[in-house]
Structure 1
């Protein structure tokens, strides 16, 4: 399975000289199986960088959305395939607290956007029911679901294909002050033995208690969880919009030293691509220049 990171920033896009290493686009991750089947995870501003990959794509496009917060849907109006009459897109939406699962489309309504969602020539199917299932199939991926601990709700996904398991858990507060949608033990079980865990870690322990309850985890918490669940590789995403490259690099180095010989943990970088195989996990290419 191949993993490509197109957007790893949380809350809002952060272009500028201090974010060029880790990237400033909001959440979007691409998974591809050895048979060519693929899934897009979230449609933050990073999804626009996928336009070239899907320019001449003939098969249906599958998009899994975790929740409706802007940083996870705001790139959709700039995803070029939606303007092609030859494109078919299936959008699976996460479970939210309100009955507004169509916000990815309705952001293109009223005075929000010049092109309205009901004017799009592409064939778009909005599936609001699949995330209610504990397990389903999507484009030959086996998908399991779990409720996020996050204001307004949301859904985490584990995707299995090529005999490998990738857990996508963003945004998620592992130790919230409010009633949990999913407990710590349930998270351990959900990501157990994953080849890759992609998890929100917008904060560090020093940010608490000021940001306790805001719906995000600390990287120290994610490292603890991953070790308990026997995860092989961790990628942290949803980087704080105020965090600079130098700050993220410092946190990454500190945590890697703490986790040495126990856990492979990396701060995800926009434009990086990885290949999971049965023997090892290795960087295969850079896609930033596309």
Structure 2
């Protein structure tokens, strides 16, 4: 088995939520919105197509032809705005399988990606993309198998609906849980199921508890969670490592440093995601052993 077939790498290309926020105050953690790449046993998986997808696309130009599987949690703008700027999708020698659940209004992921590129929103339509695009509608709870890699999904608590993913291969697993809002009186069973004994849980911790419950500007009902809830889930699901993700655009680098300190204090094997961060699950497993 080649080295490529033995790897389980997770790389973060966009770690923000809501809106991209590049600038001098977000240099260390980055300002691009959600996009996570996984290279597993020769398969390339991409989760969400926020503005970080443009950055990923630039690096893939030197590796063409590309075949990849793209999984969308939902189609709020911060998770799809990078797709029209994903240059490899315009190149005919490439092939992309694109997955997403049907929205509550009945629209498919193909329809939603198509609509954001229609006039007057964008100068050229999705159909101008020259790559071979295969759109796949997912049922909630449906399992996708790519070779030995298994991708499972479950419904999350988010306005307009979103799904989270669990990726498993070779006895290792990653839970990608964004965007979701915790419940006030219990842990979300779907989130616990996705995260069960995962090597890595990537969790939507947009707010702090103080922001979430603030009496003047409460974020209850906005569809996102907190780092404190992330810790609760990680402990309950017996997660090996927690990754804080989907940072609020108002949280600058210093603020994120403090969240990192507090999270590690509460759950020692934690890290706050930053652009360019790469995690090697197999190397981590060897170290832990």
Separation in 2, partners of 1:21, 1:138: 34
The answer to whether the 8 Å contact 2:156/2:191 transfers is no
The answer to whether the 8 Å contact 2:195/2:237 transfers is yes
Q: How far 1:140 sits from its partner (Å)?
A: 4.0
The answer to whether the 8 Å contact 1:62/1:139 transfers is no
3-state DSSP class of the match of 1:18?
A: coil
Unaligned runs of 5+ in 2: 1-7
The answer to whether the 8 Å contact 2:14/2:30 transfers is yes
Q: 1:207 to 1:149 in 2, by over 3 A?
A: same
The residue aligned with 1:212 is 220
Separation in 2, partners of 1:146, 1:133: 5
Q: 1:125 aligns with which of 128, 134, 156?
A: 134
Q: 1:82 aligns with which of 86, 89, 110?
A: 89
Given the alignment of the two structures, is residue 47 of structure 1 paired with residue 53 of structure 2, yes or no?
A: yes
Q: 1:2 aligns with which of 1, 9, 15?
A: 9
Q: 1:139 to 1:93 in 2, by over 3 A?
A: farther
- TM-score computed with the length of structure 1 as normaliser: 0.89
Q: 1:22 to 1:67 in 2, by over 3 A?
A: same
The answer to whether the 8 Å contact 1:37/1:140 transfers is no
Given the alignment of the two structures, is residue 37 of structure 1 paired with residue 43 of structure 2, yes or no?
A: yes
Q: Deviations over 1:215-261 (max 9, x none)?
A: 0001000101111111001111110011110011111102212334x
The answer to whether the 8 Å contact 1:176/1:212 transfers is no
The residue aligned with 1:259 is 267
3-state DSSP class of the match of 1:279?
A: helix
Q: Deviations over 1:36-91 (max 9, x none)?
A: 21100000000111124422332422100000100000000111111111121111
Separation in 2, partners of 1:27, 1:94: 18
Q: How far 1:132 sits from its partner (Å)?
A: 3.1
The residue aligned with 1:187 is 191
Q: 1:151 aligns with which of 143, 146, 159?
A: 159
Q: How far 1:95 sits from its partner (Å)?
A: 4.1
The alignment of Structure 1 onto Structure 2 pairs a total of residues equal to: 272
- TM-score computed with the length of structure 2 as normaliser: 0.89
The residue aligned with 1:134 is 142
Q: How far 1:29 sits from its partner (Å)?
A: 0.3
Higher percent of residues as helix: 2
Q: 1:20 to 1:139 in 2, by over 3 A?
A: farther
Given the alignment of the two structures, is residue 235 of structure 1 paired with residue 243 of structure 2, yes or no?
A: yes
The answer to whether the 8 Å contact 2:140/2:154 transfers is no
Separation in 1, partners of 2:51, 2:147: 24
The answer to whether the 8 Å contact 2:64/2:93 transfers is no
Separation in 2, partners of 1:244, 1:259: 22
Q: Which runs of 4+ in 1 moved over 6 A?
A: none
The residue aligned with 1:73 is 80
3-state DSSP class of the match of 2:286?
A: coil
Given the alignment of the two structures, is residue 114 of structure 1 paired with residue 118 of structure 2, yes or no?
A: no
